[in-house]
Structure 1
């Protein structure tokens, strides 16, 4: 993740939850907060224990991290993203998850589609 780092500290999560805006569809909730003093974007993940055992949760987190790696150059720099996955994600294929995540990211206004290369 060159220009995308991980959001790990609880206080950082709380700042995004309190000051950021949320956008959602049936599969994901995404909180977004533009940070003026940052040059790179940060990603925080939340996958509930209701989603399954540790293997399933880590599997979902790996998928989401990989999606963000691929979309990093299309994200607004200096933005914090927190992605919360919902239950339907458990049974989705990678391509379906990516399409759903892109849908929510477009709602945020912090995602820039490439000219004529929309997935």
Structure 2
């Protein structure tokens, strides 16, 4: 993902946690925060040390980034999304991660209407 399409600063994460709307399933929690005057959506990732070692955490983040990239044409622009991976995400392969994220996004009505 390009640098400008990522949530990086702690302040931005905290704002999403406090003011954003959250929705979740067993593997992921997603916070959505509308941003005025923002053309694209931005993604922030958080994977706790409880989930696994550094190799596993980085693998989960790569899977999430790729899944979001593949779903990007369906996601509503103009929002910040912070995705938090829970412990069960460590045992999933890419296709399961993508399926689970799709489910969470549908629950949160993140996808564009057709």
> TM-score, normalization: structure 2?
0.93
TM-superposed CA distance for 1:93, in Å, is: 1.5
- Paired with 1:83 and 1:42, the residues of 2 have a C-alpha distance of 11
* Counterpart in the other structure of 1:72: 72
> TM-score, normalization: structure 1?
0.89
* Counterpart in the other structure of 2:45: 45
TM-superposed CA distance for 1:96, in Å, is: 1.1
Could you list the runs of 4 or more consecutive aligned residues of structure 1 that deviate by over 4 angstroms after TM superposition?
Answer: none
- Number of residue pairs matched by the alignment: 113
* Counterpart in the other structure of 1:34: 34
Gap runs ≥5 in structure 2: none
Is the Cα–Cα contact under 8 Å of residues 41 and 77 in structure 1 kept in the other structure? Answer: yes
- Paired with 1:86 and 1:8, the residues of 2 have a C-alpha distance of 20
Matched, 1:16 2:16: yes
- Paired with 1:110 and 1:30, the residues of 2 have a C-alpha distance of 10
TM-superposed CA distance for 1:52, in Å, is: 1.0
